[in-house]
Amino acid sequence: MANELEQQVLKKAQSWLEGNYDEATKKQVKYLIDNDMKELVESFYKDLEFGTGGLRGIMGVGTNRMNIYTVGSATQGLANYLKKNFAGEQVRVAVAHDSRNNSRMFAERVADIFASNGFEVYLFDALRPTPELSFAIRELKCHSGVVITASHNPKEYNGYKAYWTDGAQVTPPHDKNIIDEVEKITDVNMVLTGQHSENIHTLDEKFDEIYLNRIHELSLSPESIAKYHDMKIVYSPMHGAGVRLVPASLRKFGFTNVIMVKEQAVIDGNFPTVESPNPEERKTMSMAIDLAAREGADLVLATDPDSDRIGVALRNKQGEYVLLNGNQTLVLLMSYQLTRWAERGELDGNQYVVKTIVTSQMANAVAEHFGVKCYDCLTGFKYIAKIIRENEGKAKYIGGGEESFGYLAGDYVRDKDAVSACSLAAEAAAWARDTMGLTLYEWLQELYVKYGFYREGLVSVVRKGKEGAEQIQQMMVDFRANPPKMILGSPIVKINDFQTLEATDVKTGAKTPIEQDRSNVLQWFTEDGTKVSVRPSGTEPKIKFYFGVKAPLASVEEFDVTLAALDAKIEKIKEELKLV
């Protein structure tokens, strides 16, 4: 069997040696044929799949790698779909990229192919945050757009995300239809290149100003910033696309004391100072936190390489910096926005916020307090964008996000935006100090006293290969057939199944429909307010378990004890479900 696979791989690799590929690529393929059969198999045993969000993979030669040819096939397929979908129109597209190795080269190839297909193309002159690409599609009335990024993945990876007319990542039916067109590109000669370069227009700093001005419209407390403009803020762009625009946005809001982590302000796709450029991880944030400790900073901010995810660390009473999880960042930003909208008399019952189904229920409690509707949607920002699209002209979107460190305030962008989130986090810190004499961390603790102490946890169970994928599917089958009756002694009272789109009242057996897109997700809710969500990953060989527990918090003095008890509860749930 292995030999048969090797023969298939050699045949595919040989076609690259004989086809219309550049000499450097052919040389690398030849090297692998002669010296590294294992890597040759990995590179050619399948085609890199264009999934519902686009491409993501390790860079290198071959059909299963990110290179100008796999990027080319994806772009020609997308171009063919756009021509079908917008027949008779002059198609307009925007193209951006992050700081990863080869990102500029891939972006220029994408722009070239779109131009060669007769499209008007807007290409950024250098790296830019992913949310600015979403903004550009809307602002320039484009039909589609592409950003070259692998988000917070390790340095070996790159990726390709496709966007639709509203500036959101593609959703059904377009995602599947684009995949069909991409799969029809079976030969490198089907990809159009080298024509109509006059169709490519450059977007430069003038366009950044338009974007930054729109972000500044989100400002809710300019008078507080005026008083605390020199509050110390440490910021790290993680060698990525936030390097210029996050500090520029903070300055536009009025902050005058932004301290950059110099070593991480160097644009470098090798991410030399971190193992993985993910602001969710303390290790990744350590350089920024260490600098903040030396400077006595009030706030630590970081963005991932394409600047759509935000990392936040805040100082507690002991002077230690606590790294917030994505749920806490979301609750703070949403609470700040809703509080200020209410104080300014701007809530009239026609506003709403959005969160994903695996994000903290605390967001629902905050929204309910302000009489604002809170939508729950599937995981992925494109579903938040879908709700914004469906409410356009009917109700006003304030903000929303997901537990994976993404937040969007305002609807001028349709993807998570860490540029605006950083500015709002800093403004919230100035406002909390000005109006309540509290640090942002102290205000978070007060919010727990007010709404209840919600605490979340996550376990990812990895099962690799074909066998692993089957095991994950079997786990979901078993959970549906035999769901747990209790979690830590508290009976399960409700089960949400997003595959059947039914919510079951466990006591009565009554089923009610769930108004949602279909997805292979299960949720169990217990009598004591515990929530467990189970979701196989769409992009990786893993199944994720999300835990949400809660307890009343009588006073801030009881914070540490309650936190320890809730964390212990999450650990016990993991044991009960045999996940540790």
Report how far residue 77's alpha carbon sits from residue 180's, in angstroms, rounded to the nearest whole number. Answer: 8
Q: Please report where in the chains the tokens 């102290």 appear, as a residue.
A: 442
Whether the CB-CB separation of 213 and 268 falls below 8 Å is answered with no
460 is catalytic: no
Domain CATH for 81:
3.40.120.10
Residue 526 placed within a domain: yes
Residue 580 has pLDDT above 90, yes or no: no
pLDDT band of residue 400 (cuts 50, 70, 90) is very high
DSSP code per residue over 436-454: HS--HHHHHHHHHHHH-EE
Choosing from 179, 203, 227, the residue where a domain stops is 203
Residue 91 has pLDDT above 80, yes or no: yes
Residue 282 placed within a domain: no
Q: What sign results for the dihedral spanned by CA atoms 334, 338, 344, 347?
A: positive
pLDDT in tens, 30-43: 999 999 999 999 99
pLDDT in tens, 457-471: 999 998 877 788 888
pLDDT more than 70, % of the chain = 99
Residue 1 has pLDDT above 70, yes or no: no
Residue 323 placed within a domain: no
Residue 61 has pLDDT above 60, yes or no: yes
Choosing from 203, 223, 240, the residue where a domain stops is 203
Residue 545 placed within a domain: yes
Average pLDDT on 102-127 reads 98
6-20, 115-129, 217-231, 536-550: range with lowest mean pLDDT:
536-550
Residue 541 has pLDDT above 80, yes or no: no
Q: Total domain count for the chain?
A: 2
Report how far residue 329's alpha carbon sits from residue 321's, in angstroms, rounded to the nearest whole number. Answer: 14
pLDDT band of residue 575 (cuts 50, 70, 90) is very high
Domain CATH for 496:
3.30.310
- Alpha-carbon torsion, ordered 413, 100, 379, 94, to 10 deg: 30
Q: Residues 151, 221, 335, 423: which is the catalytic one?
A: 151
pLDDT at 538: 67
Q: Is 279 exposed, middle or buried (0-12, 13-18, 19+ CB in 10 A)?
A: buried
Residue 500 placed within a domain: yes
pLDDT in tens, 312-329: 999 999 999 999 999 999
- Closest by CA position to 22, among listed 193, 157, 196, 161: 193
Report how far residue 492's alpha carbon sits from residue 495's, in angstroms, rounded to the nearest whole number. Answer: 8
pLDDT at 579: 87
Residues in the chain, overall count: 580
Domain residue limits at 492: 453-576
SS3 content of the chain, % helix, strand, coil (to 5): 45, 20, 35
Residue 462 placed within a domain: yes
DSSP code per residue over 276-300: S--TTSHHHHHHHHHHHHHHT-SEE
pLDDT in tens, 415-458: 999 999 999 999 999 999 999 999 999 999 999 999 999 999 99
pLDDT band of residue 3 (cuts 50, 70, 90) is confident
pLDDT in tens, 222-273: 999 999 999 999 999 999 999 999 999 999 999 999 999 999 999 999 999 9
Residue 348 placed within a domain: no
What's the token pair of residue 58? 């390790």
Runs of H (alpha helix) within 58-143 = 68-85, 103-116, 130-139
Residue 21 placed within a domain: no
Choosing from 186, 203, 220, the residue where a domain stops is 203
The dihedrals phi and psi of 465, each to the nearest 5 degrees, come to 75, 180
pLDDT at 35: 95
